[in-house]
């Protein structure tokens, strides 16, 4: 009876068969029918169950309403978390905009934002920043016109901008906002955990490298911002387990194209995604000999083949972006009626400053070998001028040398002669670079070593030092005279700003080599944690390795083509910092995300791969 009663209570629709109803129970008659008392009890039980069902339905509706209301809380929480992260990212920018005068990357920045479209603003420097930066300069000038009641400037302003404090402030404000947005996007893509994002944001805000460049006028600032977006987009691409959407590839290609139009050296970023997929394919192929399961070996071969296909697509996109950037430059040159020319030889002249630091005998031997690498009489003439140009002092005037060499080679100086001289400079650079001599390679290796020993404060300090260029060459930057950075100021006062604020020069002894060593430790930790928790981190580790390697290659290319300057280490530092952020996010994911279960079936085994 207890069992039957329990079944009835647990299921109101439970009805015993007729033969069971008639074989037990004291309240049954001889024909096996229920007694009146038992019928009344059953009716009451059914009524109670109906009330219980109504009660349950009511509470279910209440629960659903509370659940819909609870959905509002996560959105509010996410909004609050976003506000906290953005507040941390904006804190250094707000302080610098209110307390630090705008910085200038010497005469280069002045040429970029004030000269009309020409060789300097299209071919020598990337055209994107040279033209885009004039938009906030124009808006700031309009603000001054509204305040003073003056007429608005015409469209000729974009050809010959007039610098003002409001315009420069608008330019720096847009750079800081763009830095905040790109950094927030990168950190949000790096990890899903708020605490991990918060730690990364705090570390990011404590680093003066990016904020000082954002507070400086110059094309390297836009390049830095676009590099962050490229890093975030590449991370989203590598996380796709199977097919990558066309939208992601198009976005990556557009960002890469814009990067190349900002700085020509950014063309090396075209190797980022191909290297990533090549590394990933190599990791999968390396694991095949150690795999016992034949099905798993076939699966890894298939995945390696897919990664090679993705590498091919990335390679095509990279070359297409380089070609598109070259076509864009040619189109701009055609629009302003100037000839397109390759100006690597002009830049390479600064690389030759190392000749003043080596003994005269070694220098003469090197120049003799370089002269044998060319059949051009003009290049041989330039080499002979080089032989006599170096004094004992290491401060060699590159611009003065080029003016003298052009006057000796081609007289009178005309536009056609300038094109010919630029071709001579390109051939001179080729004679030094192919094949490179041991003395030249030693100078490149020395500069590459210096770049890896340079801490972040030395990079920041150079931006303050280059701002003081105006005080010794005010004629070359005449339009900067009314600006607050230089008005009633001195070089000593500008340099004192760096010394008086510890934010710019803390951790002086922390070099790139030390940071690279910590990066290697983090990479090893990710590999160990992934093995313990059975996580698949090959795509992330491959991407992080490619980021760091491309940054080092960009620095090495600078050492081949130009003299060493601390600010040239920015891409190397930035790409390695992005790589370290990706690894840190993956480390926290391995530590706090739930571990994958042991694969017990063929399907789960393939998913674990």
Domain boundary, last residue among 434, 468, 493: 434
Which has more pLDDT, 42 or 578? 578
Q: Is residue 157 part of a domain?
A: no
Closest CA to 200 of 175, 223, 165, 228: 228
* Mean pLDDT of the region 371-398: 84
Total tally of structural domains belonging to the chain: 3
DSSP states along 253-287: HHHHHHHHHH-GGGGGGGGHHHHHHHHHHHHHHHH
Considering the domain architecture, whether residues 359 and 428 belong to the same structural domain is answered as: yes
Considering the domain architecture, whether residues 386 and 466 belong to the same structural domain is answered as: no
Q: Which of 98-112, 161-175, 289-303, 418-432 has the lowest mean pLDDT?
A: 289-303
How many CA atoms lie within 13 Å of 133's alpha carbon, on the beta-carbon side?
33
d(CA 47, CA 553): 81
d(CA 160, CA 606): 62
Domain boundary, last residue among 70, 102, 130: 70
Q: Does residue 32 come out as left (phi exceeding 0), alpha (psi in the -120 to 50 range) or beta?
A: left
Q: What's the mean per-residue pLDDT of the chain?
A: 86
* Mean pLDDT of the region 358-386: 92
Domain boundary, last residue among 504, 519, 538: 504
* Mean pLDDT of the region 69-75: 55
Q: Is residue 592 part of a domain?
A: no
pLDDT at 139 over 70: yes
Considering the domain architecture, whether residues 428 and 378 belong to the same structural domain is answered as: yes
Q: Which pLDDT score, from 0 to 100, does residue 591 have?
A: 76
pLDDT at 70 over 50: no
d(CA 43, CA 48): 9
State which residues form the domain around 460.
Answer: 455-504
Q: Is residue 168 part of a domain?
A: no
Q: Give residue-wise pLDDT tens across range 316-339.
A: 999 999 999 999 999 999 999 999
| Cβ–Cβ < 8 Å for 389, 396 | yes
pLDDT grade, residue 274 (50/70/90)? very high
Q: How far is CA 416 from CA 178, 341, 411, 430, 535, in A?
A: 41, 12, 11, 22, 63
pLDDT at 589 over 70: yes
Can you name the residues that pair with 28 across neighbouring β-strands?
Answer: 34
Q: Which pLDDT score, from 0 to 100, does residue 118 have?
A: 93
Q: Is residue 362 part of a domain?
A: yes
Considering the domain architecture, whether residues 428 and 463 belong to the same structural domain is answered as: no
Considering the domain architecture, whether residues 16 and 63 belong to the same structural domain is answered as: yes
Can you name the residues that pair with 217 across neighbouring β-strands?
Answer: 104
Q: Which pLDDT score, from 0 to 100, does residue 603 have?
A: 37
Q: What residue ranges in 195-350 does DSSP mark as E strands?
A: 216-217
Considering the domain architecture, whether residues 360 and 396 belong to the same structural domain is answered as: yes
How many CA atoms lie within 13 Å of 224's alpha carbon, on the beta-carbon side?
28
Distance of alpha carbon 430 from the chain centroid: 32
Q: Is residue 161 part of a domain?
A: no
Q: Which pLDDT score, from 0 to 100, does residue 393 have?
A: 53
Q: Is residue 366 part of a domain?
A: yes
Please report, to the nearest 10 degrees, the dihedral formed by the alpha carbons of residues 491, 555, 182, 216 taken in order. 10
Considering the domain architecture, whether residues 378 and 420 belong to the same structural domain is answered as: yes
Q: Which pLDDT score, from 0 to 100, does residue 533 have?
A: 65
From first CA to last CA, the distance across the chain in angstroms is 56
Q: Is residue 215 part of a domain?
A: no
Q: Is residue 497 part of a domain?
A: yes
Considering the domain architecture, whether residues 472 and 416 belong to the same structural domain is answered as: no
Q: Which pLDDT score, from 0 to 100, does residue 74 have?
A: 77
């Amino acid at each position: 009876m207890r069992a039957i009663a329990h079944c009835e209570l647990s299921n109101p629709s439970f009805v015993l068969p007729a033969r069971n109803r008639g074989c037990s129970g004291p309240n049954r008659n001889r024909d096996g029918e229920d007694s009146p008392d038992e019928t009344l009890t059953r009716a009451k039980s059914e009524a109670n169950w109906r009330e219980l069902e109504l009660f349950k339905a009511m509470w279910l509706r209440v629960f659903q309403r509370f659940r819909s209301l609870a959905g509002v809380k996560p959105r509010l929480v996410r909004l609050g978390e976003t506000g906290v992260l953005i507040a941390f990212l904006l804190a250094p920018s707000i302080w610098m905009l209110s307390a630090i005068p705008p910085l200038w990357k010497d005469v280069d920045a002045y040429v970029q934002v004030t000269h009309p479209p020409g060789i300097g603003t299209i071919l020598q420097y990337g055209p994107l920043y040279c033209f885009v930066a004039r938009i906030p300069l124009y808006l700031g000038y309009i603000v001054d016109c509204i305040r003073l009641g003056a007429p608005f400037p015409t469209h000729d302003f974009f050809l010959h901008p007039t610098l003002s404090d409001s315009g420069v402030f608008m330019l720096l404000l847009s750079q800081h906002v763009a830095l905040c947005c790109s950094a927030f996007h990168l950190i949000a893509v790096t990890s899903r955990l708020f605490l991990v994002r918060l730690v990364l944001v705090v570390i990011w805000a404590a680093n003066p490298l990016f904020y000082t460049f954002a507070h400086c006028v110059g094309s390297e600032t836009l390049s830095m911002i676009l590099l962050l977006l490229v890093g975030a987009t590449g991370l989203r691409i590598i996380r796709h387990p199977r097919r990558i959407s066309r939208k992601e590839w198009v976005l990556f290609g557009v960002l890469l194209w814009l990067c190349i139009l900002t700085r020509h050296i950014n063309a090396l970023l075209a190797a980022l995604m191909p290297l990533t997929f090549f590394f990933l394919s190599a990791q999968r192929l390396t694991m095949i000999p150690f795999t016992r399961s034949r099905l798993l070996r076939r699966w890894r071969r298939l995945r390696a083949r897919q990664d090679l296909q993705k590498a091919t697509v990335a390679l095509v996109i990279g070359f297409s972006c380089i070609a598109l950037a070259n076509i864009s430059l040619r189109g701009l040159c055609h629009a302003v009626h100037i000839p397109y020319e390759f100006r690597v030889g002009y830049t390479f002249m600064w690389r030759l400053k190392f000749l003043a630091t080596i003994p005269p005998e070694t220098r003469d031997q090197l120049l003799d070998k370089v002269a044998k690498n060319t059949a051009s009489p003009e290049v041989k003439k330039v080499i002979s001028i080089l032989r006599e140009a170096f004094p004992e002092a290491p401060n060699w005037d590159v611009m003065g040398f080029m003016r003298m060499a052009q006057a000796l080679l081609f007289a009178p100086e005309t536009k056609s002669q300038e094109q010919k001289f630029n071709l001579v400079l390109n051939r001179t650079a080729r004679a030094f670079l192919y094949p490179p001599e041991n003395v030249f390679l030693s100078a490149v290796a020395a500069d590459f070593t210096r770049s890896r020993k340079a801490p972040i404060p030395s990079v920041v300090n150079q931006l303050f030092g280059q701002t003081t260029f105006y005080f010794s060459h005010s004629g070359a930057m005449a339009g900067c005279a009314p600006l607050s950075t230089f008005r009633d100021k001195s070089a000593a006062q500008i340099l004192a700003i760096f010394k008086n604020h510890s934010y710019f020069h803390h951790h002086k002894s922390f070099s790139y080599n030390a940071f690279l060593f910590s990066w290697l430790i983090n990479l090893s930790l990710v590999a160990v944690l992934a093995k313990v928790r059975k996580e698949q981190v090959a795509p992330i580790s491959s991407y992080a390795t490619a980021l760091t390697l491309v940054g080092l290659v960009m620095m090495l290319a600078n050492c081949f083509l130009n003299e060493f300057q601390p600010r040239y280490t920015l891409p190397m530092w930035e790409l390695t910092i992005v790589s370290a952020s990706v690894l840190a996010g993956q480390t926290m994911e391995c530590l706090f995300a739930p571990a994958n279960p042991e694969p017990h079936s063929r399907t789960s085994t393939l998913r674990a791969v």
